[in-house]
Amino acid sequence: MLGLGQKFPEFKKLATVSLEKGQEFNEVTSEDHKKDGQWMVMFWYPKDFTFVCPTEIAEFNNSYDEFRDRDTALYGASTDSEFVHLAWRKDHNDLKGLKFPLIADTSKSLAEDLGILEEGEKIAYRVTFIVDPDGIVRWISANDLSVGRNVKEVIRVLDALQTDELCPCNWEKGQETLVV
């Protein structure tokens, strides 16, 4: 798996961005967040039309404004196609109003570059990356395929990283950082 302090791989992928006819898909690149001076959170999930994944995607969507307030581009990603993403969004009530792109890595090239492909089915593990505006990986969290992640923890860690200071255990935004 790609490690902390490493450069996030370059990519150019199609993503499902809307349910509006003719505006469903758009290209997303590794440069998009950098050119805007933003952080990036990219969370990977195994498959569309499953059970744990929509709970996470819906919670990221519920927290979308918190990521935007932190100058952070938010992306969901899996190895499913943009057409499968679109069909799932149309089919699942919690996914119809998504405010962020679902990246389609059908070639599995980005998942391979990240080192997050499961051995058997070659689907992506449930992994979250926080990447700074320079494209450097600053945090990685990986869960077993059967366990959903905690979106509040992703936001807490993003807040801590954005302080660029020493943050003690269980630190939350608004609390004192450590002074050495």
Residues 6+ apart with CB under 8 A from 77: 13, 42, 43, 44, 45, 102, 103, 104, 105, 110, 111, 124
Which two three-digit tokens encode residue 53? 């994944």
Residues 6+ apart with CB under 8 A from 155: 63, 66, 67, 70
Of 61, 79, 151, 149, which is closest to residue 118 (Cα–Cα)? 79
The DSSP H or E segment spanning 142 is: strand 137-143
Are the C-beta atoms of 75 and 50 separated by less than 8 Å?
Answer: no
Are the C-beta atoms of 59 and 74 separated by less than 8 Å?
Answer: no
Query: Which residue numbers are catalytic?
Result: 53
Which two three-digit tokens encode residue 14? 């199609």
